[in-house]
Chains A and B, each alone.
Chain A
Amino acid sequence: MIWDKEKECIDREDLKQLQLERLQSTIQRVYRNVPFYRRMFDRQGIDPDSFSSIEDIKKIPFTTKNDLRENYPYGLFAVPLREIVRIHTSSGTTVMPIVFGYTKGDLKIWSELVARVLSAGGITKDDVIKIAFNYGLFTGAFGFHYGAEKIGASVIPISIENPKKQIKIMQDYKTTALISTPSYALLIANTILEMDINPNSLSLKFGLFGAEPWSERMRKEIEEKLKITATDNYGLSEVMGPGVSGESLEKNGLHINEDHFLFEILDPHTLEPLEEGQTGELVITTLTKEAFPVLRFRTGDLTRFLPGQCPCGRTLRRIDRIMGRTDDMIIIRGLKIFPSQIEAILYEIEGKQPNYQIILERQSGIDSITILLEVTEDIFSDVMKEQSQLINIIKDRLSSEFGLSFNVKLAEKRSLEKIDGKLKKVIDRRN
Chain B
Amino acid sequence: MLILKNIDVYYGKLYTLKKISIHVKKGEIVALIGSNGAGKTTLLSTISGLIKPSSGSIIYEERDITKESTENIVKMGISHVPEGRLIFKTLTVEENLLIGGFSKYSLKKRKEIKEELDKIYHLFPKLKERKKQLAGTLSGGEQQMLAIGRALMSKPKLILLDEPSMGLAPNIVKEVFQHIVELKKLYGLTVLLVEQNARSALKIANRGYVIETGRIILEGTAEDLLSNKDVQRAYLGRDLDAELRI
Contact = CB atoms under 8 A, between A and B. Distances in A.
- The answer to whether A and B assemble together is yes
A205 B220 CA distance: 36
Chain B binding surface, main DSSP class: strand
Interface residues of A, number: 25
A264 interface: no
A13 to B, nearest CB: 9
B227 A105 contact: yes
Interface string A14-50: 1001101110110011001000000000000000011
Given A17-B23, A51-B19, A22 B219 contact: yes
B21 A21 contact: yes
A24 B21 contact: yes
A24 B19 contact: yes
A49 B3 CA distance: 19
B23 A21 contact: yes
Nearest to B212: A28
Nearest to B225: A105
A103 B23 CA distance: 26
A108 interface: yes
Nearest to A104: B227
Contact of B216 (A21, A82, A108): A21
B228 A17 contact: no
Chain A binding surface, main DSSP class: helix
B218 interface: yes
Contacts of B228: 103, 105, 290
A24 B224 contact: no
A52 B19 contact: yes
Interface residues of B, number: 24
B230 interface: yes
Contact of B5 (A17, A82, A288): A17
A20 B21 contact: yes
Given A17-B21, A20-B5, A32 B217 contact: yes
A101 B219 CA distance: 20
Interface in B222-238: 224, 227-230
Interface in A257-279: none
B242 to A, nearest CB: 14
B216 A24 contact: yes
A26 to B, nearest CB: 9
B138 interface: no
A364 B230 CA distance: 63
A116 to B, nearest CB: 15
B123 interface: no
Interface string A57-91: 00000000000000000000001001100000000
B229 A28 contact: no
A17 B6 CA distance: 10
A290 B209 CA distance: 15
B215 interface: yes
Contacts of A105: 220, 224, 227-228
Contacts of A28: 212, 215-217
Interface string B187-226: 0000000000000000000000100100111111000100
B18 interface: yes
Contacts of A288: 220
A55 to B, nearest CB: 13
B229 A83 contact: yes
Contact of A29 (B3, B218, B244): B218
18 contacts: A20-B5, A21-B209, A21-B216, A22-B219, A24-B21, A24-B216, A25-B219, A28-B216, A29-B217, A29-B218, A50-B19, A52-B6, A79-B229, A82-B244, A105-B220, A105-B224, A108-B224, A288-B220
